[in-house]
Amino acid sequence: MAETMADRPSKANGARVLADLNALRAIGAYKTGVHRPTFSEPHRRSLDWLVQKLPDAGLAAEIDGIGNVFGISAKAGPRLLAGSHLESQNFAGWLDGPLGVVYALEAARVINPDPTVKGAVDVASWCDEEGHFGHFLGSRSYVGEVTEQEIDAARDRTDQRPLREAIAAAGLAGRPRKTAERGRHIGYLEAHIEQGRTLEGSRLNIGVVTSIVGIWQYRLTFTGEQNHAGTTRMKDRKDAGLALAKACVAVDDRFPAHAGPRTVWTTGRIMLDPGAPSIIPGRAEMLFQVRDDNPEIVERLEALLGEIAAEVGNLSGCSVEVTRLRTGKPAIMDSGFQRAIEQAASIFAGGKSTHMPSGAGHDAQVLASIMPAGMLFVPSIGGISHHWSENTDDADIVTGAEVFVETCRRLLTN
Ligand code: GLV
Ligand code: MN
Ligand code: MN
């Protein structure tokens, strides 16, 4: 039977993908990973790197006022938006983000000049997915969720630099922020390293993402009584630090009975005030995060967190305040996108794919609020991520690129 144009797979150039990823790895290199926080000098250079590459794919490049980079095609026909992010967590891995941006660039380079493929791939690099200044700042700005007041108030979580100052230092002050042009895109596709062990453990090449977790974040503040650590008898203390520690232990004891199979919770920065061994802390604060793709489960856990806080507060003679800092937005990935990824994996990955939820947050969950969205994962060695040793086999990176380009072609052709 004669092969039709619609059946002809497009091929990524694996060597070009690896060369681009290694070029980005050299920008802000730290050990085998990168240190490229949002609006740092290396981050700005990585954005410039992308701006210079986009014309190779027939794309007009622009950086907007929040640091998003776009590559926009003038080709007629349907258009798919694809991308990820270029900043990193502090002293972290080289693939978390750049993999998805380089795959999107490669898809545009292969598909956009090909007259046999209808339509084109537009590329996006979303600013601050890693949340140095907020959360999903770039993609939320694109879908119209970020106000000027939020930008005025935001500060870098590491050095407290105001976001306005960082934007100005990056040369972006006063630029308009680009928002989604309704109807322009048939959807959004993002690739990412898995950042877990599912694929590696089952010797699979591709994860077809079904849903992305929502992330809920809280601040627990314990107020007791600051006093002398030598003269205050144990029975007379109102130790805010001890109340905090009891809350952490109680959460770990009592959450499992109310959690779902993939619920996770993590305590972040703990602060004791004053943090001196000769002084009983009168105030203690902790950041706490819960992730799930089911908001009902998190509602249950949030109620339980409030109960635990009240109980340990009573026991320790402290008052406790629980403040929700961030509300999760889980997202379901589009079934047509899932099918296209699976079909592409049957051609380029020998069918070695599986459907799986994402425990990490991604810009795709923000884009999913305004258009169909899909994600594919490639394996992470040892499941390590958010650490400089994060890595993926070159062969797996190349296979993922082939599956990604073919997925784009199928989505545009169908
Ligand atoms: C994103 O990097 C996350 O923390 O899930
Ligand atoms: Mn990421
Ligand atoms: Mn990350």
Q: For residue range 222-264, list pLDDT tens digits in order.
A: 999 999 999 999 999 999 999 999 999 999 999 999 999 999 9
Residue with tokens 């004669």, as numbered in its chain: 2
Identify which of 211, 362, 366 to mutate to test ligand 1's pocket (most ligand atoms within 8 A of the CB): 362
Burial class (CB in 10 A: 0-12, 13-18, 19+), 67: buried
Q: What is the mean pLDDT of the chain?
A: 96
* Secondary structure string (H, E, C) spanning the chain: CCCCHHHCCCCCCHHHHHHHHHHHHCCCEECCEECCCCCCHHHHHHHHHHHHHHHHHCEEEEECCCCCEEEEECCCCCEEEEEECCCCCCCECCCCCHHHHHHHHHHHHHHCCCCCCCCEEEEEECCCCCCCCCCCHHHHHHCCCCCHHHHHHCECCCCCCEHHHHHHHCCCCCCCCCCCCCCCCCEEEEEEECCCCHHHHCCCCEEEEEEECEEEEEEEEEECCCEECCCCCHHHCCCHHHHHHHHHHHHHHHCHHHCCCCCEEEEEEEEEECCCCCEECCEEEEEEEEEECCHHHHHHHHHHHHHHHHHHHHHHCCEEEEEEEECCCCEECCHHHHHHHHHHHHHHCCCCEEEEEECCCCHHHHHCCCCCEEEEEECCHHHCCCCCCCCCCHHHHHHHHHHHHHHHHHHHHC
Q: Which residues sit with their C-beta closer than 6 Å to ligand 1?
A: 130, 360-361
Selection from 346, 358, 349, 338 nearest residue 398 by Cα = 349
264 alpha carbon – ligand 2 mean position (Å): 18
Q: What is the pLDDT of residue 9?
A: 65
366 alpha carbon – ligand 3 mean position (Å): 15
Q: What are the residues facing 63 on neighbouring strands? A: 69
Identify which of 215, 287, 326, 380 to mutate to test ligand 1's pocket (most ligand atoms within 8 A of the CB): 215
Pairing verdict, β 214-223 and 373-378: unpaired
CB atoms within 10 A of CB 229: 13
Regions of the chain where pLDDT drops below 70: 1-10
Q: Which ligand is nearest to the CA of 33?
A: 3
Spatial separation of the C-alpha atoms in residues 83 and 362, rounded to whole Å = 11
The sign of the CA dihedral 125, 129, 133, 137 is: positive
User: What number does the ligand 1 atom closest to the CA of 213 have?
Assistant: 5
Identify which of 38, 86, 130 to mutate to test ligand 1's pocket (most ligand atoms within 8 A of the CB): 130
Q: What is the pLDDT of residue 8?
A: 60
Identify which of 216, 386, 387 to mutate to test ligand 1's pocket (most ligand atoms within 8 A of the CB): 386
Euclidean distance between the first and the last CA atom of the chain, given in angstroms as a whole number: 20
Backbone torsions φ then ψ of 254, nearest 5 degrees:
-105, -20
Q: Which ligand is nearest to the CA of 390?
A: 3
Q: What are the residues facing 324 on neighbouring strands? A: 218
147 alpha carbon – ligand 1 mean position (Å): 22
Q: What is the pLDDT of residue 185?
A: 98
The residue whose CA has the least distance to atom 2 of ligand 1 is: 130
User: What number does the ligand 1 atom closest to the CA of 89 have?
Assistant: 2
CA distances from 70 to 26, 64, 105, 372 (A): 22, 8, 11, 19
Q: What are the residues facing 382 on neighbouring strands? A: none
Q: Nearest 5°: CA angle at 44, between 138 and 408?
A: 55
Query: Which residues surround the ion ligand 3 when the cut-off is CB under 5 Å?
Result: 96
User: What number does the ligand 1 atom closest to the CA of 359 have?
Assistant: 5
- Report yes or no: 118 and 60 within 8 Å, Cβ to Cβ: no
Q: Which ligand is nearest to the CA of 193?
A: 2
Backbone torsions φ then ψ of 201, nearest 5 degrees:
-65, -25
Spatial separation of the C-alpha atoms in residues 147 and 142, rounded to whole Å = 11
Q: What is the pLDDT of residue 7?
A: 54
Q: Which ligand is nearest to the CA of 266?
A: 1
Q: What is the pLDDT of residue 414?
A: 79
